[in-house]
Amino acid sequence: MLRTLAVSLLLAAPAHADGAQDFVTANVISTLYHEFGHALIDLTDASVLGREEDAADILSVILLDEFWEEDAAESITALTALSFELAAQEAEEPAYWDVHGLDMQRYYNQVCLFYGADPDTRAALAEEFALPAERAETCVEEYDLAAASWAAVLDPLTASEPTKSIGFDGETSSDIGALIASEVTDLNQAFTLPKPVTVALTSCGEENAFYDPETATITICTEYVEFLERQAIANDL
C-alpha cells in the first residue's frame, strides 16, 4: 500500500508553483497523521510515555515511513521539518509554555526519527538537514523504541480487511479535500478503530488542526490550509 507523492499531487490542480503545492500537501498529511495519533491515544486508552504531543509527532513519522515510498516519504519529511523551521523563525521567542515541543525540537525529532528508521538510505537527508552527529548516533535507538511503543497500540488495530471506521466529512472537489479523502481510505485499509472517527475539513475561524475527544473528530481547518499556502508563497517554495 505504499504511495508515491505524485499520486496525491495528481489530484491537485497547479494553482501555484509545485513547490508550494508540495509544501501544503506534505504538511496536511503530517498534521493529519499527528491528529490521528491523538485519536488513537484517546480511543485505545493507550498510555504513552512522556508528552502526548511528542507521541503524536512520533506516530506521524511512523506512518510516513510505513505508508509512503522512499522518495515521497523523504519529501514529506523534509517539508514537514521545514515548516517547523519556518515556525521557529517566525516566532518572536521560543514558546516554552506550549504543550508541543519547541519548533526546533520538533524539527530535529522529525529528522532524527525518520533517519533512524532507515539510516543506510537516509544519511544524505540527515546531513542535508544538519542533524548533528552526536544526535544521529541515538536515532536508530530512538526510532526502535518509538516504533515498539506504538506497535503495542497499532498491532491490535491492524485491519484484516478494509473497513470504514474512519469517515471523511468535507468537499472532495478541492485539492486538499480529495487528498484527505484518499488518506482516509488508506487509513481504513490499514486500521480498524474501536469506535468511529470522523476527519473533517472545514472552516473554523482559526489556523488550526485538532482532535476533539467529545465527538471523536479530527478537524483540519481550511484556515490552516490557507496559512500553509501563504507560508509557502512567502518563502518562495
**Rounded distance between C-alpha atoms, residue 111 and residue 81, angstroms:** 7
Which region, judged by CB under 5 A, interacts with Zn ion, from 46-54, 84-92, 119-127, 219-227? 46-54
Q: What contacts 86, CB < 8 A, 6 or more positions away? A: 231, 235
Which region, judged by CB under 5 A, interacts with Zn ion, from 23-31, 47-55, 196-204, 213-221? 47-55
Is 220 a binding residue for Zn ion by CB under 5 A? The answer is: no
Q: For Zn ion, which is the closer residue by CB, 106 or 122?
A: 106
Is 40 a binding residue for Zn ion by CB under 5 A? The answer is: no
Q: Give the full edge-to-edge strand order of the sheet including 166-169.
A: 166-169, 197-202, 217-221, 209-212
CB of 121 to Zn ion, least distance (A): 28
Per residue in 212-232, is it b (16+ CB within 10 Å) or e — as a string? eeeebbbbbbbbbbebbbebb
Is 73 a binding residue for Zn ion by CB under 5 A? The answer is: no
Q: Which of 5, 20, 28, 56 binds Zn ion (CB under 5 A)?
A: 56
Is 55 a binding residue for Zn ion by CB under 5 A? The answer is: no
Neighbouring CB atoms inside 10 A of 10's CB total 10
Is 139 a binding residue for Zn ion by CB under 5 A? The answer is: no
CB of 57 to Zn ion, least distance (A): 8
CB of 227 to Zn ion, least distance (A): 16
Number of residues in contact with Zn ion, rule: CB under 5 A?
2
Count the alpha carbons within 13 Å of 180 in the hemisphere toward its beta carbon. Answer: 32
Q: For Zn ion, which is the closer residue by CB, 99 or 133?
A: 99
Q: Which residues pair with 68 in a beta bridge?
A: 3
Q: For Zn ion, which is the closer residue by CB, 39 or 131?
A: 39
Q: What contacts 73, CB < 8 A, 6 or more positions away? A: 64, 65, 67, 114
Is 221 a binding residue for Zn ion by CB under 5 A? The answer is: no
Is 181 a binding residue for Zn ion by CB under 5 A? The answer is: no
Is 58 a binding residue for Zn ion by CB under 5 A? The answer is: no
Q: Is the Cβ–Cβ distance between 200 and 170 less than 8 Å?
A: yes
Q: Which residues bind Zn ion (CB under 5 A)?
A: 53, 56
